[in-house]
């Protein structure tokens, strides 16, 4: 395929953005996993581009905020599971840009805390109806204690009501059915669909391919079902992708690393999940992009990609203006998708603190750090060669690297990146 053909992108592509839940890069066989079979995502990687250095925040809500707004968390973070009702998302931008928009899957950005915890956040946040989507079909749209199951016998909210009579059905299948129905509607407008998967977050329960799903224990958790969940995620993604127009821009990403209770085999070695940790296992996630006719197939990209880079990239691909979002931190990787070099980001800055949030107090203090593919510097002064020490067991010293990365920390400290969330009293 010629360079000219690769660069000849569709003017207004249909776009599907898929976000897996709690899935580290060690879970896909195209990254070297030996614990799970993921043939559909592997095929997407051979037909598109696989990114080796894609990073999320260590937990879901911080990543999703960055993904939907293109901004580092210090700019718009309120609390875990809470989005400012005035915040604009990529849904609003695509609506205003002439796209049909839909979301199917996990929401969790309104009234996250139960009544007896942080009551000031009760009934606060952004309702799904106000998030920029023409149609929605989601789990966890209301109060936390009312969220129900996301898997077997799911609780799904759409058109102002909870869907009845879903006993024996499976959430991810219903999300897939909804979005396929949406994209197949006869409408001349292009579409943008955001699919924040329920899978593979705990509880680790049977899938429809597990024999136990047909019995009374389909909601009974056991870690042995995680394998079934990874492989069912791959199956349902493949079912959707196979029914989309071939020139659809499809992006697959994950919100954080795998649960810490899980250990997988990666390239012949055990790899323990790191969800919630600021180490590689908590932040490095799979990323695959397929855009037939535009993205060179079978390529592996070694550029740094951050969760806030998706909004400017998909908006640039669709010629959707982003000026109304104000100051953003994302860097478009559209040139890379077109087979060009682009201007890769030299580092990723992270302001991370999931507090205040129910059950999150033990996870974190406010942490600020900057890293590239080899080095990582915290604002505490600790420097790691995390390419050689991915668990960050032993700090090192390198004066030149420290000077370079400290300049980034200082830059963000000067514009609000020194913000601190106090511990809960």
- List Cα–Cα distances, 246 to 3, 71, 188, in angstroms: 20, 31, 17
- List Cα–Cα distances, 26 to 30, 147, 189, 286, in angstroms: 9, 29, 38, 8
Model confidence at 359, pLDDT cuts 50, 70, 90, reads confident
Is pLDDT of 2 > 70? no
- Per-residue b/e over 282-320, b at no fewer than 16 CB within 10 Å? bbbbbbbbbbeebbbeebebebbbbbbbbbbbbbbbbeb
pTM for the predicted model, two decimal places:
0.96
Intervals of CATH 3.40.720.10 along the chain: 10-345
Give the Cα separation of 408 and 418 in Å (integer). 12
pLDDT, the chain, mean: 95
With pLDDT > 90 as the criterion, what percentage of the chain qualifies?
92
Is pLDDT of 191 > 90? yes
Q: What is the CATH number of domain 10-345?
A: 3.40.720.10
What does residue 26 show for φ and ψ, rounded to 5 degrees? -70, -5
Give the Cα separation of 416 and 320 in Å (integer). 28
**Average pLDDT score over residue span 64-73:** 98
Query: How much is the pLDDT for 422?
Result: 79
Give the Cα separation of 408 and 45 in Å (integer). 33
For residues 195 and 236, the answer to whether their CB atoms sit within 8 Å is no
Report strand pairing: 263-266 vs 269-272.
antiparallel
- List Cα–Cα distances, 172 to 45, 63, 250, 331, 379, in angstroms: 22, 21, 18, 31, 40
pLDDT in tens, 369-398: 999 999 999 999 999 999 999 999 999 999
Model confidence at 4, pLDDT cuts 50, 70, 90, reads very low
Query: How much is the pLDDT for 3?
Result: 43
Is pLDDT of 11 > 90? no
Is pLDDT of 363 > 50? yes
């Amino acid at each position: 395929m010629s360079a000219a053909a690769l660069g000849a992108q569709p003017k207004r592509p249909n776009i599907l953005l898929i976000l897996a839940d709690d899935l580290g890069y060690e879970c896909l066989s195209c990254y070297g996993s030996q614990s799970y079979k993921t043939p559909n995502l592997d095929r997407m990687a051979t037909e598109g581009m696989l990114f080796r250095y894609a990073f999320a925040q260590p937990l879901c809500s911080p990543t999703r905020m960055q993904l939907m707004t293109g901004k580092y968390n210090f700019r718009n973070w309120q609390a875990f599971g809470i989005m400012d009702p005035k915040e604009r998302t990529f849904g609003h931008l695509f609506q205003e840009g002439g796209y049909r928009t839909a979301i199917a899957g996990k929401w969790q950005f309104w009234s996250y805390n139960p009544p007896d915890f942080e009551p000031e956040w009760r009934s606060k946040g952004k309702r799904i109806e106000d998030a920029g989507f023409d149609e929605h079909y989601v789990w966890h749209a209301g109060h936390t204690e009312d969220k129900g199951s996301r898997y077997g016998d799911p609780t799904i909210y759409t058109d102002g009501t909870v869907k009845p009579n879903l006993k024996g059905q499976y959430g991810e299948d219903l999300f897939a059915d909804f979005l396929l129905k949406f994209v197949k509607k006869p409408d001349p407008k292009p579409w943008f669909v955001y699919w924040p998967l329920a899978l593979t977050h705990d509880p680790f329960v049977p899938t429809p391919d597990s024999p136990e799903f047909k019995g009374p224990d389909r909601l009974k958790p056991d870690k042995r079902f995680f394998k079934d969940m990874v492989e069912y995620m791959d199956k349902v993604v493949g079912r959707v992708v196979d029914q989309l127009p071939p020139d659809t821009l499809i992006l697959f990403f994950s919100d954080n690393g795998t649960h810490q209770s899980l250990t997988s085999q990666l390239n012949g070695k055990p790899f323990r999940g790191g969800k919630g940790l600021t180490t590689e296992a908590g932040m490095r996630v799979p990323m695959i992009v397929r855009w037939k006719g535009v993205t060179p197939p079978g390529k592996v990209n070694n550029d740094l990609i951050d969760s806030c880079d998706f909004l400017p990239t998909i908006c640039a691909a669709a010629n959707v203006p982003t000026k109304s979002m104000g100051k953003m931190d994302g860097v478009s990787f559209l040139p890379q998708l077109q087979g060009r070099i682009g201007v890769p980001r030299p580092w990723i800055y992270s302001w991370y603190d999931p507090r205040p949030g129910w059950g999150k107090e033990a996870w974190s203090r406010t942490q600020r750090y900057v890293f590239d593919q080899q080095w990582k510097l915290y604002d505490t002064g600790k420097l790691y060669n995390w390419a050689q020490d991915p668990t960050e067991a032993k700090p090192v010293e390198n004066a030149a690297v420290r000077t370079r990365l400290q300049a980034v920390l200082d830059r963000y400290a000067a514009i609000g990146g020194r913000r601190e969330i106090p511990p809960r009293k």
